[in-house]
């Protein structure tokens, strides 16, 4: 699965492959499924308590975790657009009222 891909597409793809290759057994399918997951999904699954007895259970949990991850990324992106830039004492730009902002009628562009 691509790093930016969604688990729902991967689940459908794997189901399609499973129907053509026959019965390998639950453990083999779980192994193949995990091998194809993006690293972010594997990290999320590593922190999930318990074991998975069926492939369907693993797929459902992975899909839930992936959905939460992508919703969080979407929310994070929209929050960054709404928030004004933070200025503080460590800011490299001088404050608006700074005497350094203009020198002989020319704006200072960088320090």
Does the pTM of the predicted model rise above 0.85? no
Token duo for residue 41: 């999904």
- For residue 102, being part of any structural domain is answered with no
- For residue 94, being part of any structural domain is answered with no
Give me the number of domains the chain comprises: 1
> CA 10, 58, 33, 72 torsion: positive or negative?
positive
Q: What is the pLDDT of residues 34-80, one digit of tens each?
A: 999 999 999 999 988 888 889 999 999 999 999 998 888 888 887 76
- For residue 57, being part of any structural domain is answered with yes
| Domain range for 50 | 7-79
């Amino acid at each position: 699965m691509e790093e930016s891909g969604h688990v729902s597409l991967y689940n459908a793809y794997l189901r399609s492959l499973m129907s053509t290759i026959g019965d390998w057994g639950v453990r083999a399918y779980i192994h193949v499924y995990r091998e194809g997951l993006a690293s972010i999904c594997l990290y999320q699954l590593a922190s999930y308590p318990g074991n998975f007895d069926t492939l369907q259970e693993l797929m459902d949990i992975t899909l839930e975790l992936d959905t939460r991850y992508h919703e969080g990324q979407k929310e994070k992106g929209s929050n960054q657009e709404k928030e004004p830039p933070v200025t503080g004492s460590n800011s490299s730009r001088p404050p608006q009222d700074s005497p350094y902002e203009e020198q002989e009628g020319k704006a200072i562009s960088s320090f």
